[in-house]
Amino acid sequence: MSGEPEDPSTRSGQVPASRRLDAGDLVESPPKVEVPQEVAEAVRTLIRWAGDDPDREGLLDTPSRVARAWREYASGYAADPAVHLSRTFYEVGGYDEIVLLKDVPFQSHCEHHMAPIIGKASIAYLPRDKVVGISKLARVLHGYARRLQVQERLTAQVADCICEHLQPKGVAVVIEASHACMSARGVNTPGVMMTTSRMMGIFRSDERSRREVLALMGY
């Protein structure tokens, strides 16, 4: 017999209070991250500086929400994206053509204004003797994107990681993204997309191979 007190709701067939979902939740939420006081106060200071009152009803929980959101936005710092490329496969039936993951959506944040970067990436490689699970390419992208970034570095980091750990004949990464630091402030020019690319190995040295992979990507 357990020494813990019984939750009365279990006798009536109700879900225990500790396991109930908030209204509108489809799945049970993970435990909330503890927010240090100095982090919450920093957000409160920013709210005041922006011209609002952090003590009004609608903003009371905003500091902790912002802090937890940024823990998620910047979750890429907590792991090495290369770990996703550690498991490879050699039995591919002699396949030696381009492997392409096209139009992978991602979100990041600009390191200059901490404003959103929203875009898509096409990631390709030409295997030498091994391949990796296709979802792992997306995980590498998200691992680097979930940090404070500039698009040029993000493009290079994804390509360099794949090249170093898979050692393929070639790697090609093309990223298109919109930057809120340009569309929602400053020059205020929405609808503009920035494109960056990194070609490595045969995709850099051989024009025919480069044209082929870019055509497969839709460029």
Q: Which of 84, 110, 142, 149 is catalytic?
A: 110
Phi/psi at 33 (5° precision): -70, 135
Q: Which of 109, 142, 165, 179 is catalytic?
A: 179
151 is catalytic: yes
Residue where the block lists tokens 């813990």? 4
181 is catalytic: yes
SS (H, E, C) 97-149: CCEEEEEEEEEEEECCCCCEEEEEEEEEEECCCCEECHHHHHHHHHHHHCCEE
- Residue 161, sorted as left (phi over 0), alpha (psi -120 to 50) or beta, turns out to be alpha
Residue 109 · residue 149 · CB < 8 Å: yes
> If residue 64 lies in a helix (H) or strand (E), which one and from where to where?
helix 62-73
* Cα–Cα dist 186/203, whole Å: 36
Q: Which of 142, 151, 161, 165 is catalytic?
A: 151
* Cα–Cα dist 159/199, whole Å: 8
* Cα–Cα dist 19/34, whole Å: 19
113 is catalytic: yes
Q: Which of 163, 167, 176, 181 is catalytic?
A: 181
149 is catalytic: no
* Cα–Cα dist 15/85, whole Å: 41
Q: Which of 14, 41, 107, 112 is catalytic?
A: 112
179 is catalytic: yes
For the annotated catalytic residues, the residue numbers are: 110-113, 151, 179, 181
